[in-house]
Structure formats: structure tokens, C-alpha cells
């Protein structure tokens, strides 16, 4: 168990709350500060502001050790201050650090002794140097600076925090790195102590590598389609090589979410600002954009022009287990389909895209969404969709075509259930095989 310390957290967003909750779980006293009064009120009333597994329970279990405030001065006596604010992309693709700088402006002046400021937010390499200079410029030489990036994935962030693959700590001064390492006492994981710039780069490089694997397997999938191989089998065989490993080799309709798209742009921009063109990363990003759009071509292959066709998008969140719509491939898909003149019917068990998906109609159940549909597209790998190839669904659809954007279903079983099946990187049903159905009277003619 770690020695209990006082921890201040700037930002009651997803990273800030998971960080605060988990440090409280480790026995520390935590105070979380945000600038949004509604959010602070809700947290004080015991409500987590978003859907994240285990978070409400951990917050509740540690309610005596976590406080919430709007007043940064209440963080004055914290031993360690974590910055967990958003760093969205600007128009130029650079990370917008204005929330980081305003947290610095609000930094309380501790009475005495050393305080350590820790960057959890993902920031461009070189940010630590700039913050260090800004602290010194303000006479805050008693405040140390440490980069301690998070590697949390949505849906199991609490588990990831408490069971990390590694803890990365980049510090200018050894004593500050040691102070941060001590906070993680009780967690079994390799600790990498390094310099600040390298710690910043580790986060960006790890994300970029994961995205590279996804775009790589998506391109292999596209070649598989051309040559008649099955990418699911290929990924299995490739992943058994201990040098490669099985993770992040699921072909699909492209990555989304709050981190990958933003962080890839930030790294690309960081490199090009320094005069280096990161070719590989540019290709990874482009492949991902194309991958989202390939679904439209596949639908056209089976249905011809999409004008007036009813397409059901099943699953809208960027991945299963979250209601997060940030950079979800479903958004690109819906707007491409609407632009082609298709009628978009949508379903998701938790995500509510609202105006983000203007023009699409949201239904409460899968069965309603597929009613009269010319195709059903599995966009998010929700468990509820594993049974999609049912008689009820087949009877409800105008044409029984399933486009499986996540390779969730078994192709042979799906075909045996009377559907034409098209996955990602798997042998598809020949389009002549699409069972014929009468055109409904009301359909807009091509
Ligand atoms: C990711 C990183 O995993 C995490 O370490 C980082 O801190 C933030 O970004 P997250 O965005 O929550 O986390 O989701 P993750 O589970 O990593 O998936 C990212 C995207 O890649 C999703 O859209 C997912 O569907 C897609 N993906 C993932 C694939 O298409 N194929 C895969 O094999 C794995």
C-alpha cells in the first residue's frame, strides 16, 4: 500500500475522474477541480457524468476520500497535482493546449515545501519544457514537473489504471519522479523512469503503433477480399508469432474515439512542424478514412444506386461498451449514405448521437431499425448483434443483406440463415446471390 498523500486533479473529465477515483482506491486523499458548476454539482450528488464500467462503484466506495470543487485554491495543500484536461486538435492539427495553460494560470500557490505538477493529458513532445519555463517564470521553482501519460482504454479504464502494462514517469528532477512513483504503491507493474520528452513521446508512439496495426490489418483485409483469403484466419495466424502478438489485429471499418484520431494528427503535425514528414503515419490516417467509406462501395455492389434505399446502421458508438460518439465511423458512414440519397435508419443500445447524425432516424430496437431495410450494417460490435441473422430480422428486411463491419458473425451460418453476407476481408456472397424481393411501391425510383 502506498503512503497516503494529498492529490489534486485538474479536470473532472474521463481521465481526471478515473485518475482521481483510482488514486483514492489506492488510499490517497483526492480533490478534483473542474470549471463546470453542473458537473461538480452532479459529482457531489454521486452521479458520474458518463458511462464507464466500475467508475460509479469506485467513486462511491471512496466517497470519504474524494472531494469535488470549483475553487482551484482548495488544491493549494496537495502534494501532487495532476493535469487531466482535454487537448483537442486545432484547425492546423496541432494540439490545443489552452486548457493546460488555463490550469497553470489557476495553479494555487502552496504554503511551502515541494509540490509536483504531473501531466496526464496527452500533449506534444516539448510541452514539459515549456511548462517548466512557465513555472520558473512565475517564480514557482518549488513546483516540480513530471510527465506521466495515461494508457487507458474506454470501457475498462478503471481496470487499466489499476492493472497497467507499465507506468511511465518522465521527470526533470529525480525526487519528483520518485514522488510520483510512490503514489502507485500497491500496483504491480514495471515502472519506466525516463526524461520528460521521452515520456511524452512514448504515449504518442504507442498510440500511433496501435493505429498502424489497425490500418495494416485493414489493408490486409482489403487484399484478402481481392484474392479470396479470410482476414480473420490471417490475423489469427499472424498473431501467433510471439514477435507480433494477437492484439489490435481486428479488421473493421476503421478506428475512431477520443484518442486515436486526435493523437495521430497531433503526432503528424508535431513531426511536420519540426520539418519531418511522417509518411507512415500519414498513410495510416488515410487508410483509416478510406476504410470507413469502403462500406458504401460494398453496399453499391449489392444494391446499385443507393438513392431511396433503406440502410440500417446497427451500433453507432465508436466501439462497444461506451456511448462515446467522438470520431465514430458511424458518423462518416451516415453522412456518406445520406449524401447518396439513402434513407438511414439507426440503432444503438446506449449512444444517442442527436444532431451529430442529423437526417438519420434512430429506433429503439434492432427489429424496428431493420424494418423494410435493403441492408443492415453492423457498425459497432455490440453483443446484442451476435444474433442478428435471425428469422425475425430476415422477415423484417426488404432484402436480407448483412454487411458486417466488425466481422462479428459467422459467414457460413449467416448465409445458411438466408442472408447475403459481406464482411471485412472475408469471402463475400456473390451479389447475384442476393435473394430477390419485390420493390415496395413507395420506394423512390432510381
Ligand atoms: C485508445 C488506446 O487503447 C488507449 O491506450 C489510449 O489511451 C486512448 O486510445 P480507446 O480509444 O478507448 O483507447 O479504444 P480502443 O479499445 O483502443 O479502440 C480504439 C479504436 O480502434 C476503436 O474504434 C476500435 O473499434 C478500433 N480497433 C481496435 C479496431 O478497429 N481493431 C482492433 O483490433 C482494435
Which domains, ranges and CATH numbers included, belong to the chain?
6-194 (3.40.50.720), 195-446 (3.40.50.720)
Residue among 52, 53, 153 whose CB has most ligand 1 atoms within 8 A, to mutate: 153
pLDDT value, residue 429 = 72
Say if CB 170 and CB 198 are below 8 A apart: yes
Q: What residue owns the CA closest to ligand 1's atom 31?
A: 250
pLDDT value, residue 81 = 97
Distance 295 CA to ligand 1 centre (A): 20
Per-residue model confidence as pLDDT tens digits over 212-238: 999 999 999 999 999 999 999 999 999
Distance 248 CA to ligand 1 centre (A): 8
pLDDT value, residue 90 = 86
Q: What residue owns the CA closest to ligand 1's atom 9?
A: 259
Distance 255 CA to ligand 1 centre (A): 7
pLDDT per position in the chain (446 positions), as tens? 679 999 999 999 999 999 999 999 999 999 999 999 999 999 999 998 888 899 999 999 999 999 999 999 999 999 999 999 999 888 887 889 999 999 999 998 876 689 999 999 999 999 999 999 999 999 999 999 999 999 999 989 999 999 999 999 999 999 999 999 999 999 999 999 999 999 999 999 999 999 999 999 999 999 999 999 999 999 999 999 999 999 999 999 999 998 999 999 999 999 999 999 999 999 999 999 999 999 999 999 999 999 999 999 999 999 998 889 999 999 999 999 999 999 999 999 999 999 999 999 999 999 999 999 999 999 999 999 999 999 999 999 999 999 999 999 999 999 999 999 999 999 887 764 555 555 555 555 44
Name 122's Cβ contacts closer than 8 Å, sequence gap at least 6: 87, 95, 149, 150, 203, 204, 207, 259, 262, 263, 266
Q: Whole-angstrom Cα distance, residue 11 to residue 20?
A: 10
pLDDT value, residue 113 = 83
Distance 152 CA to ligand 1 centre (A): 10
Residue among 156, 252, 316, 379 whose CB has most ligand 1 atoms within 8 A, to mutate: 252
Q: How far is CA 410 from CA 50, 221, 386, 415, 425, in A?
A: 33, 16, 9, 9, 13
Q: What residue owns the CA closest to ligand 1's atom 19?
A: 255
DSSP classification of residue 373:
-
Closest-lying ligand 1 atom to the alpha carbon of residue 157: 12
At residue 174, φ and ψ (nearest 5 deg) are -55, -45
Q: What residue owns the CA closest to ligand 1's atom 10?
A: 153
Q: Is 259 a catalytic residue?
A: yes
Sheet strands (E) in 285-326: 310-314
Say if CB 196 and CB 147 are below 8 A apart: yes
How many CA atoms within 13 Å lie on the side-chain side of 297?
8
DSSP classification of residue 64:
T
pLDDT value, residue 446 = 46
Distance 353 CA to ligand 1 centre (A): 19
Exposure string of 377-405, with b = 16+ CB inside 10 Å and e = fewer, is bbbbbbeebeebbeeebbebbbbbbbbbb
Q: What residue owns the CA closest to ligand 1's atom 17?
A: 153
pLDDT value, residue 27 = 97
Q: Is 77 left (phi over 0), alpha (psi -120 to 50) or beta?
A: alpha
pLDDT value, residue 281 = 98
Considering 22, 84, 224, 259, which one is annotated as catalytic? 259
Distance 190 CA to ligand 1 centre (A): 22
Closest-lying ligand 1 atom to the alpha carbon of residue 152: 7
Residues near ligand 1 (Cβ within 6 A):
150-154, 207, 210, 214, 248-250, 252, 255-257, 259-260, 318-319
Amino acid at each position: 500500500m502506498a503512503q497516503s498523500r494529498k492529490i489534486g486533479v485538474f479536470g473532472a473529465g474521463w481521465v481526471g475522474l478515473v485518475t482521481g477515483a483510482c488514486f483514492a482506491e489506492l488510499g490517497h486523499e483526492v480533490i478534483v477541480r473542474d470549471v463546470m458548476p453542473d458537473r461538480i454539482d452532479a459529482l457531489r450528488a454521486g452521479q458520474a457524468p458518463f458511462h464507464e464500467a466500475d467508475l460509479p462503484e469506485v467513486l462511491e466506495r471512496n466517497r470519504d476520500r474524494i472531494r469535488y470543487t470549483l475553487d482551484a485554491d482548495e488544491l493549494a495543500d496537495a502534494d501532487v497535482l495532476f493535469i487531466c484536461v482535454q487537448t483537442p486538435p486545432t484547425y492546423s492539427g496541432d494540439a490545443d493546449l489552452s486548457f493546460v495553460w488555463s490550469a497553470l494560470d489557476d495553479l494555487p500557490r502552496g504554503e511551502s515545501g515541494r509540490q509536483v505538477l504531473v501531466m496526464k493529458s496527452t500533449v506534444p513532445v516539448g510541452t514539459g519544457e515549456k511548462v517548466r519555463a512557465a513555472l520558473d517564470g512565475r517564480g514557482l521553482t518549488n513546483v516540480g514537473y513530471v510527465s506521466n501519460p495515461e494508457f487507458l482504454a474506454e470501457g475498462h479504464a478503471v481496470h487499466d489504471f489499476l492493472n497497467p502494462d507499465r507506468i511511465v514517469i518522465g521527470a526533470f528532477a529525480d525526487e519528483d519522479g520518485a514522488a510520483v512513483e510512490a503514489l502507485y504503491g500497491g500496483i504491480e507493474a514495471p515502472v519506466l523512469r525516463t526524461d520528460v520528452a521521452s515520456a511524452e513521446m512514448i504515449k504518442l508512439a504507442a498510440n500511433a503503433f496501435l493505429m498502424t496495426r489497425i490500418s495494416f490489418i485493414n489493408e490486409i483485409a482489403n487484399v484478402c477480399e481481392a484474392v479470396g483469403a479470410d482476414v480473420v484466419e490471417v490475423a489469427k495466424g499472424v498473431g501467433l508469432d510471439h514477435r507480433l502478438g494477437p492484439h489490435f489485429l481486428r479488421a473493421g471499418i476503421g478506428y475512431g474515439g477520443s484518442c486515436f484520431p486526435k493523437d495521430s494528427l497531433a503526432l503528424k503535425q508535431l513531426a511536420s512542424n519540426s520539418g519531418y514528414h511522417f509518411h507512415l503515419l500519414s498513410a495510416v490516417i488515410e487508410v483509416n478514412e478510406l476504410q470507413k467509406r469502403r462500406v458504401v462501395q460494398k453496399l453499391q455492389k449489392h444494391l446499385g444506386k443507393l438513392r431511396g434505399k433503406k440502410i440500417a446502421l446497427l451500433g453507432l458508438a465508436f466501439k462497444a461498451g461506451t456511448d462515446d460518439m467522438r470520431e465514430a465511423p458511424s458518423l462518416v458512414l451516415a453522412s456518406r449514405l445520406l449524401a447518396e440519397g439513402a434513407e438511414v435508419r439507426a440503432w444503438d443500445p446506449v449512444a444517442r448521437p442527436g444532431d451529430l447524425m442529423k437526417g438519420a432516424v434512430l429506433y429503439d430496437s434492432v427489429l424496428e431499425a431493420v424494418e423494410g431495410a435493403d441492408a443492415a450494417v453492423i457498425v459497432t460490435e455490440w453483443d446484442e448483434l451476435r444474433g442478428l441473422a435471425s428469422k425475425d430480422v430476415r422477415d423484417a428486411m426488404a432484402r436480407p443483406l448483412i454487411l458486417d463491419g466488425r466481422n462479428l458473425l459467422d459467414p457460413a451460418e449467416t448465409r445458411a440463415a438466408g442472408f447475403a453476407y459481406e464482411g471485412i476481408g472475408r469471402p463475400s456472397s456473390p451479389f447475384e446471390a442476393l435473394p430477390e424481393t419485390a420493390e415496395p411501391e413507395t420506394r423512390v425510383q432510381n
